[in-house]
Structure 1
């Protein structure tokens, strides 16, 4: 957050965008990465409308002060891809002035002691020193460390993470890859040849269900749906004396029965 506070006015003149950036920084890690508050959360934090928040985020991204980060970080915490907010990384190497660390002279018109962020450390009014509380709602130090661990694990995995528990139900996502054994078992059970499910069929199947986030299933369940659909298309094409055309989108009308 100190980086956002120290941005010079000429770098970010829009006060609303600055407010959004300050609130976004509250949710970033110590290195400025992994911030993923929703637009509604930022709207509550800033008092702006969600629509304005989205515009300001676009402006901040276009100005190079933020950029889209590793979206798998949000996937670790939020199962449904359609409810995952965008993960942003703050570009802390841009625009900020280096915080002063040398002692100020007696003629400093601010009258502040040379402490970090220019805050005077004295307790002139008798109050005990304030604890170093966080304004970013990120929780305890243990929770922050866990977030960094989660982010590191997510970085090692693909951009979208399929649940490790085969019993967990999930919505289809754009980078889904069928479980090799699960798909092979379903092909065998269906009595189809090993190469019965081409990449074109998988892409067409995914494209349809990505647009239907309310449909969820287990890893094995998705393999079953895929193979049953391919089997149906092969039977239909065989009756017409031709090979199945998986690029033809008319098959989508029959998927409601799967």
Structure 2
């Protein structure tokens, strides 16, 4: 994590992406390789939604801060392929170069060992080791960063939930409401009555797709999916001589394998 904290803010301006990178660094080895926390784990660590975590991981990969690593590492721990998170390697070359490690007992000028038969010839002067204050500084810096990020991240998520841009593709989320014009257009195209989409239908539709974060659509695309889904429900119910029951939650029984 010290490498990620040392990154200049100018090189990674997005605070949410920086937060995800900091937490991802906690799961990497000393060489920055082999980090494979799940999106749920990073969501719990950062306080961001899983959807936002996935978006920020994509941004970090495109910007070259992380790359996909050896996926066999996750396979060694998790048998089911569909449950394995992506293994990432952090690109440490973006951070400061590690200081060269001095051989124990090596002379600064000659590189030769000053030990004979495993015994140090001369005792070193001064304290054996200086107190390490970098850890306390690092924790303080991390906590400060988290405090600074918290409000901005919350504002970003609220803004995205309340008003996603028309062309933005996003996974379904609980606060989503269909755009009135896009929904009206799709209802007219499908030849459905104006009141064909009750609130119960929207709740049922969201409940199904919130559980499928891998599917993304634009705002208009979700309106299209909603209208087509309601249309199928109406046709299926009509075939049974019934009205569609949008309060039925039996569909959730099939979601256990997702």
Which of the five TM-score ranges fits, normalised by the shorter chain? Answer: 0.3 to 0.5
